[in-house]
Amino acid sequence: MATFCGSRYNNNELVNDKGIVMNQPKMTDVAKKAGVSPTTVSRVINRRGYLSTKTINKVEAAMRELNYRPNMVARQLQSQRTMTIGILVPTVANPFFGELTYKLERDFFNAGFKVLIGNAENDVEKERLYLQQLLARQVDGLVIATHNHQQQIPEYQNANLPIVSIDRYLRASIPNVSSDNYAGGRLATEELIARGAKHIIHTDSVERFNKRDYLRQQAYQDVMNEHGLTPVTYKIDFGSQPELMRQFFNRILDEHPEADGFFASNDMDAIQLLQTARQREIRVPEDLQVIGYDGVPTTTRIVPELSTIVQPLDEMAKVAVDILQREINGERVTGSHNLPVRLRASASLKQ
């Protein structure tokens, strides 16, 4: 009996130890070897219909002997389902999206789906290319967590495919999963005030096409106003080049020596500020209290002293997966699904 150990692939052919070329076995090969029809083999594989134990054994032996693996592509063409989901993120190299992707993939895997990943890199054209590919019946559904301007991507308007977006509006009929950005902004600001901060600076990355950061900023301003304090927001409108970041935060601290509180719209910015503060020998939290945003486990492990608003990534993934499955099953789902955030208070805040 030929063994496939040490076999080599060569395009679509198998070369066994004796150098005999043989194609990848298909169902008819198994059927022939087991002395049954292809249909029977299919039935054994899918455990459908009534089958005699003898047939099952014969077929399974033949499959094992041939090292047979059903061709998923053929099955997909027949069933009109790929059991595959496409996920579009800016980049999995970013810990936030790495964590999100991990959790999405995990939950989809448990639900029987595979995951195609696309790093759109804040590049509208790349996002369009991915979409065009994925819309070609390659996937049963789509999770969109990128941050490009959807207006420039017409594919979203006539995408005939279940989609769920994360923290982003695409179009009215596409459901969205977010965490409660307004509540997060309020929580951060209120905590700083409750701990005695009066001169609180807020930084925000520019995401023109996303209400997300706007809501965090809006909440910050509302709370400041409610307390008779003056809101000061700085927009980060450059990338995240360390040198520019350093200059930026130094400028803020130069312009606001009175600052005793700081709320950054994401943890990376908050961490950058902590570094700047340390260099300037500003004591945290005594002189300056700091809250970031996101609370990704990896980041928290590296910088445990940073207080932050934690987004419920676990729940967000679960809800997104659930919504997409319902859409795939023909259910109509729309609207925004807002999940609660929580504060992780640590050493960058006073007791």
Partner DNA sequence: CTGAAAGCGCTAACAG
Partner DNA sequence: CTGTTAGCGCTTTCAG
Q: Token pair of 89, please?
A: 């993120």
Host H or E run for residue 328: helix 313-328
Residues 139-178 that bind its own copies (CB under 8 A): 157-158, 160-162, 173
- 39 touching DNA, by CB under 7 A: yes
- 23 touching DNA, by CB under 7 A: yes
- Which does residue 238 touch among its own copies, DNA, none (CB within 5 to 8 A, set by kind)? none
CB of 278 to DNA, least distance (A): 59
Whichever of 40 and 266 has its CB closer to DNA, that residue is 40
Residues 247-306 that bind its own copies (CB under 8 A): 268, 271, 275, 297-299, 301-304
For the range 70-76, what are the long-range contacts, defined as Cβ-Cβ under 8 Å and sequence gap of 24 or more?
A: 70/27, 70/45, 71/26
CB of 175 to its own copies, least distance (A): 13
- 82 touching DNA, by CB under 7 A: no
CB of 237 to DNA, least distance (A): 43
| Of the residues 19, 228, 239, 242, which one makes contact with its own copies according to CB under 8 A | 242
Q: Report the alpha-carbon angle 204-208-210, nearest 5.
A: 90
Please name which of 215, 217, 184, 214 lies closest in space to residue 200, comparing C-alpha atoms.
Answer: 217
Residues 60-79 that bind DNA (CB under 7 A): 70-71, 74-75, 77-79
CA distance 247 to 253: 10
- Which does residue 48 touch among DNA, its own copies, none (CB within 5 to 8 A, set by kind)? DNA
| Of the residues 106, 195, 211, 256, which one makes contact with its own copies according to CB under 8 A | 106
- Which does residue 10 touch among its own copies, DNA, none (CB within 5 to 8 A, set by kind)? its own copies
- 42 touching its own copies, by CB under 8 A: no
Host H or E run for residue 131: helix 124-134
- Which does residue 218 touch among DNA, its own copies, none (CB within 5 to 8 A, set by kind)? none
Residues 186-215 that bind its own copies (CB under 8 A): none
CA distance 77 to 285: 60
Angle between helices 181-194 and 211-226 (to 10 degrees): 30
Ramachandran angles phi, psi of 17, nearest 5°: -60, -30
- C-beta atoms surrounding 125 within 10 Å: 11
Q: In which order are the strands placed within the sheet that holds 307-310? A: 232-236, 200-205, 261-264, 289-294, 307-310, 342-344
Specify the length of the chain in residues. Answer: 351
CA distance 175 to 250: 41
Q: Token pair of 76, please?
A: 């997909």
| Of the residues 2, 51, 116, 282, which one makes contact with its own copies according to CB under 8 A | 116
Whichever of 32 and 246 has its CB closer to its own copies, that residue is 246
| Of the residues 1, 20, 21, 136, which one makes contact with its own copies according to CB under 8 A | 136
Q: In the block, which residue shows the tokens 């995240």?
A: 240
| Of the residues 45, 117, 124, 345, which one makes contact with DNA according to CB under 7 A | 45
List residues near DNA by CB under 7 A. 12, 23-24, 26-28, 35-40, 42-43, 45-46, 48-52, 54-55, 70-71, 74-75, 77-80
